[in-house]
Amino acid sequence: MSQSPHLHIAVSGHGFGHAAQLSPIATALRDAVPDLRISLAGALPPAAALEFFGPVETHIRLIDFVTEQHFSVIVKSVLQRTHRENITILEREYDTFVIREDNEVEQLGWSYTNVFWVDAETGFVWRSTQYFSPKLPPIEIDVLKPAG
């Protein structure tokens, strides 16, 4: 049994420069090798990872839970595009793909799911539902206008 090719990308947490440089390479490889599996490790936030690399098989990053006094906690995520959905924000409609991010934090015994509505044309994240702490409910975010 042969496995499909697997690309593991490790990106530093020093801004988005390295991700911006690697993104076109990963995209070209994904286009050339349709069954390519991509895993990502680094400090990129999930929304940035989606914008730069699209859905990846696994995403491993370190985050801090300051209020709980837990630092450099390993979060293992699996991102999957689930379906296409039209959303409305301030009477403007967007055609989006819904990305589900299932997360596991073994150190805290916590599993949670974040959801992102990603513009089907531009890859911009217009809406998200995200957990930031095991002690708080999720936060729902709508972007009214891109920065700039």
| pLDDT tens digits, 79-109 | 888 999 999 999 999 999 998 999 999 999 9
Number of other CB atoms surrounding residue 33 within 10 Å: 12
pLDDT of residue 1 exceeding 60, the answer is: no
**pLDDT tens, position by position, 124-141:** 899 999 998 898 999 999
Q: So what's the pLDDT on residue 95?
A: 97
Q: How far apart are CA 143 and CA 32, in angstroms?
A: 33
pLDDT of residue 54 exceeding 80, the answer is: no
Contact residues for 136 (Cβ-Cβ < 8 A; gap 6+): none
- What is the value of pTM for the model shown? 0.76
CB 108 within 8 A of CB 65: yes
Q: What is the mean pLDDT of the segment spanning 13-40?
A: 87
Name beta bridge partners: 70: 65
Ranges of each domain in the chain = 6-142
